[in-house]
Amino acid sequence: MVDQAKVLRQLAKNTKKGVLHNTLNLPPCRIVAITSGKGGVGKTNLTVNLALALKDYGKRVLIFDADWGLANVDVVMGVIPPLTLTHVVRGEKSFKDIIVYEHGIGLIAGSSGVEEFLNLPEWQLENFLRELQQLEGMGDFIFIDTGAGISHQVLGFVLAATDIILVTTPEPSAITDAYALLKVIASKNREARVRLVVNRALNPGEARQVLKKLKLVTKEFLSMELLDLGYIVEDPRISRAVKAQEPFLYVYPRSPASLCLQKVADRLLLASGDDLPQHRDNLKGFFQRMLSLFH
């Protein structure tokens, strides 16, 4: 059996040398990893509703569900994907075959396909990367809904993304776990663009306190700047929408949580406007960085 680490190292070298440079001509888009230090902070719900907010601004958004342990983007969206990334990895289907559209946004269900992708031999990895050509021009934003925590798989997605949105709640355990994730990110890349969203805040003051605390310790002890993307207030309508398997932004568009979410979307759009060209990317670059991180 070929050593997988050796295969990934060689493929990473090939991509750096430009072996695949001309085979994947995807236009630049914004690849955003949405992650959290612990589960249960509303990360996936934020991902879906933020995608919808950007879609309402005329942006094309794809969601890649990379939490293959507890994948539930489909649940929040109220859809049942018949096909997942596994079918693409195994060469059974194309990317266009597996994308499910709901509310005007696309979903690529990850399932266990991501894990299988990392265990492919070199020739299949190259075929998979070439398959990404099918996604050319299909998204202005691609959201990667990662798992929670600091596992190797989660960090691969987080560190490979153009931007990182870190979601926490005001609970002490969530803040502690968010900081633990920030420590690992800083140890790998102090220049990483991490934007914080405080979810389920009782009021704006509580959200500001969480942000202030995390910004302070991140700057003092990690020498990294944590950026403010906003907050979502605690709102009972969110749980009602989740139970109904409907995005709260559409069911309760004038609710406090929806108004907060609109501000988060506004900030993300403004942030994308002031970025330098090198901070725009495509899926080729994203997966190439993933490969180099996993070698």
Q: Determine the pLDDT at residue 201.
A: 98
**Range of 17-21, 248-252, 283-287 with top mean pLDDT:** 248-252
Q: What is the value of pTM for the model shown?
A: 0.84
Q: Looking at residues 102-108, what average pLDDT do you find?
A: 92
Mean pLDDT on 41-59: 95
Looking at the chain, list the stretches that DSSP marks H as alpha helix, in order from N- to C-terminal side.
4-16, 43-56, 73-77, 85-89, 95-98, 113-117, 122-131, 152-160, 172-188, 204-222, 236-243, 248-251, 256-273, 283-294
Closest-CA residue to 142 (of 282, 290, 8, 289):
282
**How does DSSP classify residue 27?**
P
Q: Output the pLDDT for position 295.
A: 56
The reported pLDDT for the residue numbered 133 is 66
CA 198 to mean position of chain CA atoms: 16
Rounded distance, CA 276 to CA 257, Å?
Answer: 31
Residues 261 and 11 sit within 8 Å (Cβ to Cβ): no
Range 28-294 has CATH code 2.40.10.10: no
Q: Are 165 and 34 in contact (CB under 8 A)?
A: yes
Q: Using alpha carbons only, how large is the chain's radius of gyration in Å?
A: 18
For the CA atoms of 49, 50, 56, 59, the dihedral, rounded to the nearest 10 degrees, stands at: -140
Determine contact, residues 78/248, Cβ cutoff 8 Å.
no
pLDDT, tens digit, for every residue of 147-187? Answer: 888 887 788 889 988 899 999 999 999 999 999 999 999 99
Does residue 1 carry a pLDDT above 50? Answer: no
